[in-house]
Amino acid sequence: MRPPVARRWLATPSFRALLALAFVVVLGCVFNADGAFFHWSTHRDMLRQVSVYGILACGMTLVIISGGIDLSVGSVVGLCAVLFARQTLHQGESAAVALGLVIAAGTAIGLASGTLVARFRVQPFVATLAMMVFARGLAKWISGGQKISQAIQQPDGSFAYEDLPAIFQRIDRRILWGNLSVVTLVFLGCVLVSWVVLAKLRYGRYLYATGGNEEAARLSGVPIARTKLLAYGLSGLFGAVAGICQAAQEQQGDPEAGSTYELTAIAIAVIGGNNLMGGRGGIGLTLLGALTIGYLEKILSINAVGESSRLMLTGAIIVAAVLLQRRGNA
Amino acid sequence: MPARLLALRQIGKLFGSNRVLEGVSLDLNEGEVHILAGENGAGKSTLIKILAGIHTEYEGAIELRGRPVRFAGPRDANRAGISVIHQELSLIDAMSLVDNIHLGRESALHGGLWLDRKGQAGRALELCRQLDLDFTAADLARPVEQFPLSTKNLIEIAKALAFDARILVMDEPTSALSRAEVERLFALVDALKRRGCGILYITHKMDEIYQLADRITVLRDGRWVGTAPAAECPESRLIQWMIGRDLAPQSGPRPDAAGGGTAGRVLEVRGLRVPHPLPGRPPAISDFSIAVNAGEIVGIAGLQGSGGAELFQGLFGAYGAVCGGSVRMDGSPFRPESPARSIRRGLSYLTADRKASGLVPAMSVEHNVTLASLSRVSPGGVLRPGRERAGAARQVEALGIRLASLEQAVGTLSGGNQQKVVLAKWLETLPKVLLLEEPTRGVDIGSKSEIHSLMRQWTSAGMAILLISSELPELLLLSDRILALHRGAVTAEFARGEATPERILAAAMGSAARASEGCA
């Protein structure tokens, strides 16, 4: 006797992630703020707003599948936003050079965490916690603790205004007749890259094996250290991409940018159904998780829920969605 | 008529769409050893997990002394006097021996808040004395990870007894024990019987069955096949019950392999020295030399702690480039450095513990099989699903692995099939030399003889095998010659004709053979 189809479906992680998403969407339909939830612009804006988090969640997913965690990505966003603003606004570097430099910097931070984890066997939580603090400090040092914006203070105390370089506008605009933000496109690109890595490359299999049973993987010839190193490096790279998008959206480099973003990225990965123990999960789950968190935030904001209630509700709804996923898994 | 302690009535269990147990009934009396036998995948482990309160959803009923019970969890079962000693030990490595023994049942002072450390230590010491385990109070405070596997097994039993268990379930308790320890365990089982405990005992070893059993129950494919007093259930009938057919007669002595020349020499080891994995200890292997020809099976006999596992790990490069001495493979020098390098050179290593170091349980059968040979199915780093699937399917077919689909998570297979998946993984690396450590541990009789004939098949195709087995009959059956290992050095070598269990054992115990081994 086979159990009913619904039961078997319920056992697949992607279906359960869909269920959590559906749960939040239903919430949106009920609390639709006088029909605001049914406007296309709401969905478009949701996608735009969740993109930076989603980009971070892609890197986070790779690290989580390898059995680790990366707490430093929020600070990487701040560092890279500052760096990007400084290079383009103050130093007047060309966009291409600045992009390359910033991405290299983010990747370097990730590789540093990775070296601590893979080479020196520091626990991922501790290594990336240290890197989180360090990178935030670096962001403040580079920026002198100030937001780096178009307004540049002159020696005499007055402000001169720089023109905003075109690259900011190019990243923070909509294409397809205003229907799709470029940052959303960047997010989807990151999802695609992560999918190729996880599903199509030998390296992706290494990630799953390392997170699933490190000793068995090692004895099977999997280069454990390199696999972990690269996972954190990629997470840093995605962090840099997110930092650039953040700077473009804010039109400045704020050294405080990205604080607590790492927690949202983890929440996205987890609510999608990626297992924090490692070895299981996928980028599709993370995409569903990003939509779930995105809708959640959007629904609370269109209903003008105050911040204190919003935070409490977000916490409660994350727990509800995760518990909902568990059912049938017992 | 002894009192009935336990009755299982018409137990059934589904995992998803998979029926693993159906209508199994069994009872257990006071002072009885009831053997539960059956091939891997027959449903024994599931039945025990139901009894232990681990699986709480099942069909049928459990009665304790005639009263129906239903356990909400392992703690419930423990309180009711049922203790299970699992195949995979349930000790917490970082915790002390005392704390492990009392885990889940700590005795408390002052209204239940403060741990009664002194009382617990005293009781643990008393318990160990009863079990003839010579631990000092200082030993009891050490974390269990500092003890060898064989000792952990005995600690596990002490833990069960600390629960005042009336019903003891032992799931292959001897698979990691040395002979002396097995004898000690059997004496313990006798003592427990006299105290009126009922013991449900799972084993694959014939001699154990007939040494211990009062009654025997056999399961096959999740169903009850038969129950009989041991005296009325001869070996032939038991085997027939278990596999539903007669075993193919085990083939006689193998014809001599490749001969003594150097032409087919695939592996030559001279003066290998493997440092002990823990710092500050004498080397695990001090001086090991061997020459192996293609098509040969060389058995390595050694008791627990003789260095066999470290020999394989070192040779395979699992410790890194730390070994001394010289190794040649296929005539050219080879330096053990890393598993990846060894695999590329045609050397593969099956570890004794498939759960800890063989399988990636969350991954599918297919991905487990191809894990060690990914470069072949992913030229340029890009996986080719077609090639991968074909390779895995070929191995599954060749090894007769029974599964629902290649995408099935490997953790859901039975022990015998899991072992074959690990073997398939190593075969996919196309090894010239295969290091096998306990290839049939925790594997049912049917799978065991299948693995044996597979090994013969591989060697006749030119592969060389180094075999470690704690079961002497297995070594004698398969090996072309046998080396005895004692404290990291070879003490004797026997050709096929000269090897007898007695001579091997004497050599493996060293020249100044002592009957007992220390347990800590």
Sign of the Cα pseudo-torsion (A173, A175, A181, A186, in order): negative
B201 beta partners: B35, B170
Averaged pLDDT score across all residues of chain B: 84
Structure tokens at B299: 């058995």
- Confidence at residue B515, expressed as pLDDT on a 0 to 100 scale: 35
**Which residue, among A277, A283, A321, has the nearest Cα to A299 in the 3D structure?**
A321
For B385, name the nearest residue in chain A, comparing CA atoms only: A200
For A328, name the nearest residue in chain B, comparing CA atoms only: B16
Residues B466/B433, Cβ–Cβ less than 8 Å: yes
Question: Do B233 and B251 reside in the same domain of the chain?
Answer: no
Top-confidence residue, B385 or A20: B385
Chain A residues in contact with B338 (beta carbon < 8 A): 221
Residues B290/B267, Cβ–Cβ less than 8 Å: yes
Residues B229/B248, Cβ–Cβ less than 8 Å: no
Question: Do B200 and B332 reside in the same domain of the chain?
Answer: no
- Confidence at residue B90, expressed as pLDDT on a 0 to 100 scale: 75
Chain B residues in contact with A208 (beta carbon < 8 A): 360, 362-363, 367
Distance CA B346, CA B323 (A): 19
Q: What is the pLDDT of residues A232-242, one digit of tens each?
A: 999 999 999 99
Contact criterion met (CB < 8 Å) for A201 and B382: yes
Distance CA A60, CA A262 (A): 8
Q: What is the pLDDT of residues A127-167, one digit of tens each?
A: 999 999 999 999 999 999 889 988 887 788 788 888 888 88
Which residues of chain B from 100 to 159 reach within 8 Å of chain A, CB to CB?
A: none
Question: Do B283 and B339 reside in the same domain of the chain?
Answer: yes
Task: Using the predicted structure, report yes or no on whether residue A328 has a pLDDT greater than 50.
Answer: no
For A307-330, what is the mean pLDDT?
75
Contact criterion met (CB < 8 Å) for B383 and A208: no
Distance CA A67, CA A44 (A): 34
Question: Do B174 and B313 reside in the same domain of the chain?
Answer: no
Question: Within a domain: residue B507?
Answer: yes
Interface of A with B (CB under 8 A): 1-3, 7-8, 11, 200-206, 208-209, 212-213, 215-223, 279-280
For A218, name the nearest residue in chain B, comparing CA atoms only: B339
For A8, name the nearest residue in chain B, comparing CA atoms only: B16
Q: What is the pLDDT of residues A166-212, one digit of tens each?
A: 889 888 888 888 788 999 999 999 999 999 999 999 999 999 999 99
For A224, name the nearest residue in chain B, comparing CA atoms only: B340
Identify which of A1, A202, A279 has the shortest CB distance to residue B360: A279
User: Cβ neighbours of residue A4 under 8 Å, at least 6 residues apart?
Assistant: none
Question: Within a domain: residue B391?
Answer: no
Contact criterion met (CB < 8 Å) for B318 and A280: no
**Which residue, among A71, B237, B172, B194, has the nearest Cα to B228 in the 3D structure?**
B237
**Cβ of B340 under 8 Å from any chain A Cβ?**
yes
Contact criterion met (CB < 8 Å) for B382 and A213: no
Contact criterion met (CB < 8 Å) for A201 and B338: no
Chain A residues in contact with B18 (beta carbon < 8 A): none
Residue B458, φ and ψ in degrees, nearest 5: -65, -45
Q: What is the CATH number of the domain that holds B310?
A: 3.40.50.300
Q: Give CA separation, B196 vs A308, B30, B33, B163, B165, in Å.
A: 63, 5, 11, 15, 10
Question: Do B59 and B97 reside in the same domain of the chain?
Answer: yes
Locate the domains of chain A by residue range: 12-151+158-326
Chain A residues in contact with B353 (beta carbon < 8 A): none
- Confidence at residue B364, expressed as pLDDT on a 0 to 100 scale: 94
Which one of A219, A230, A275 makes the best mutation probe of the B interface by having the most chain B beta carbons within 10 Å?
A219
Chain A residues in contact with B356 (beta carbon < 8 A): 213, 215-216
**Cβ of B343 under 8 Å from any chain A Cβ?**
yes
**Cβ of B367 under 8 Å from any chain A Cβ?**
yes
Question: Do B70 and B154 reside in the same domain of the chain?
Answer: yes
Residues B465/B434, Cβ–Cβ less than 8 Å: yes
DSSP code for B432:
S
Contact criterion met (CB < 8 Å) for A218 and B367: no
Chain B residues in contact with A2 (beta carbon < 8 A): 17
Contact criterion met (CB < 8 Å) for A201 and B378: yes
What is the CATH class of A12-151+158-326?
Answer: mainly alpha
Helix H or strand E segment including B289: strand B285-293
Q: What is the pLDDT of residues A255-291, one digit of tens each?
A: 999 999 999 999 999 989 898 889 999 999 999 999 9
- Strands in B294-440 per DSSP E: 297-301, 324-329, 332-334, 347-350, 433-437
Contact criterion met (CB < 8 Å) for B381 and A202: yes
Which one of B20, B22, B353, B363 makes the best mutation probe of the A interface by having the most chain A beta carbons within 10 Å?
B363
Contact criterion met (CB < 8 Å) for B359 and A216: yes
- Confidence at residue B111, expressed as pLDDT on a 0 to 100 scale: 64
**Which residue, among B421, B410, B480, has the nearest Cα to B451 in the 3D structure?**
B421
- Confidence at residue B305, expressed as pLDDT on a 0 to 100 scale: 67
Q: Give CA separation, A261 vs A55, A229, B49, B61, B83, in Å.
A: 11, 22, 43, 52, 48
**Cβ of B412 under 8 Å from any chain A Cβ?**
no
Look up the domain containing B266 and give its range: 247-346+431-520
Please tell me the distance in Å from B363's CA to the nearest CA on chain A: 7
Task: Using the predicted structure, report yes or no on whether residue A315 has a pLDDT greater than 90.
Answer: no
Question: Do B9 and B73 reside in the same domain of the chain?
Answer: yes
Chain B residues in contact with A203 (beta carbon < 8 A): 381
Chain B residues in contact with A329 (beta carbon < 8 A): none
- Confidence at residue A329, expressed as pLDDT on a 0 to 100 scale: 44
Averaged pLDDT score across all residues of chain A: 91
Question: Do B149 and B88 reside in the same domain of the chain?
Answer: yes
Contact criterion met (CB < 8 Å) for A213 and B360: yes
Among A16-25, A292-301, B103-112, B169-178, the minimum mean pLDDT is found in B103-112
Question: Do B239 and B251 reside in the same domain of the chain?
Answer: no
Contact criterion met (CB < 8 Å) for B339 and A218: yes
For B56, name the nearest residue in chain A, comparing CA atoms only: A330
Chain A and chain B share a number of CB contacts under 8 A equal to 84
Please tell me the distance in Å from A225's CA to the nearest CA on chain B: 12
Question: Do B302 and B447 reside in the same domain of the chain?
Answer: yes
Residues A65/A280, Cβ–Cβ less than 8 Å: yes
Contact criterion met (CB < 8 Å) for B375 and A215: no
For B375, name the nearest residue in chain A, comparing CA atoms only: A202
Question: Within a domain: residue B268?
Answer: yes
Question: Within a domain: residue B152?
Answer: yes
For A95-114, what is the mean pLDDT?
96
Please tell me the distance in Å from B122's CA to the nearest CA on chain A: 37
Cβ neighbourhood burial of B504 (10 Å; 0-12, 13-18, 19+): buried
Question: Do B269 and B122 reside in the same domain of the chain?
Answer: no
- Confidence at residue B161, expressed as pLDDT on a 0 to 100 scale: 75
**Cβ of B13 under 8 Å from any chain A Cβ?**
no
**Cβ of B430 under 8 Å from any chain A Cβ?**
no
Which residues of chain B carry a pLDDT beneath 50?
246-253, 256-260, 511-520
Amino acid at A205: R
Domain-terminating residue out of B215, B243, B271: B243
Chain A residues in contact with B336 (beta carbon < 8 A): none
Please tell me the distance in Å from A2's CA to the nearest CA on chain B: 5
Domain-terminating residue out of B204, B226, B243: B243
Q: Count up the domains in chain B and report the number.
A: 2
Identify which of A7, A205, A279 has the shortest CB distance to residue B362: A279
Please tell me the distance in Å from A157's CA to the nearest CA on chain B: 57
Contact criterion met (CB < 8 Å) for B382 and A200: yes
